[in-house]
Amino acid sequence: MPAASPNLAFGKNLRLLTERYGTITGTARELDISRVQFGRYLSGESFPKPSMLKRICDFFGVDARIYTDHFSIDQLADIRWETKLDKSAKAFGPLIEALSFMNPAPSIIAPDASIPDGLYEFYRWSPTLGGRVSYKPLLFKTLNNCKVIRGYDHRVLTRLIGQRESSAEREFRGVVLNQKGGFVGLFIHSSPLDLVTLSYFSPDLNVGVNAFSGLTVMCRPEEPDAPRLSRSYMQHYVVENAASLLKLARKDPLPLPKDVPPYIVQQISRPVA
């Protein structure tokens, strides 16, 4: 029985780490281990081979002490892989390093209460289909220390540029950066597009609250008849019930100008100064 003690220590530590990371099934999937085999590790019934042990240690950011020591709560608190967010931080270490070098003032990224969370409708002239308006819903959400944005390119748009149509590949995410008179939305589109887009918005004082007028820049090489800079408009969308949310999801992503509110067409048609 004493020989089984290291296995039991390993199983206990692995269970604690897994509970702090996520679900057993999800962790096993990310480690590329069968759920049954992972369960044997957790129970102390089995112990991984050296190559698998290294994979587990690298995944959780721990060393070989996972095999011999019973982790304490304090030791676990020192492990940086406490959440999935920590995992993302490790994956994007170079980006975090670059942002640290820029040393932005906290006020630039602090959540701005004047931009309410919720769904917004985004409009601009389509850069890929002349005479059409590009429309997409955006979701704004406040996290602990910043405000973020999430959206998806419609399948109709991805077909036009020959991009695949899975949700993961159509997704783009962004962060709100506060600027004088308004804010900037800095977006990164998912692979394989890997496109960076920048939008600046300021409140539309002619309309009132929760409506914004601005500019959008697509950071890509110059192409004939495909402008990279355009006027943009965004307005808050009030979700009253499931029917109103369904209506938003079913809107044409490339409407004709006649199907867009005239005031919005006027705003996105103004010359770029």
What are 186-244's pLDDT values in tens digits? 998 876 567 899 999 999 988 877 899 999 998 888 888 778 899 999 999 887 776 77
DSSP labels, 87-152: HHHHHTHHHHHHHHHH---HHHHSPPTTS-SEEEEEEEE-SSSTT-EEEEEEEEEE-SS-EEEEEE
DSSP labels, 40-100: HHHHTS----HHHHHHHHHHHT--THHHH----HHHHHT-S-SSHHHHHHHHTHHHHHHHH
Burial class (CB in 10 A: 0-12, 13-18, 19+), 98: exposed
Work out the pLDDT band at 80, boundaries 50, 70, 90: very low
Domains in the chain (CATH in brackets) are 2-80 (1.10.260.40), 109-268 (2.40.128.120)
Supply the pTM of this predicted model: 0.62
Tell me how far apart the alpha carbons of residues 129 and 2 are, in angstroms, rounded to a whole number: 72
Phi-psi group of 225: left, alpha or beta (phi > 0 → left; psi -120 to 50 → alpha; rest → beta): left
What are 141-152's pLDDT values in tens digits? 888 788 999 888
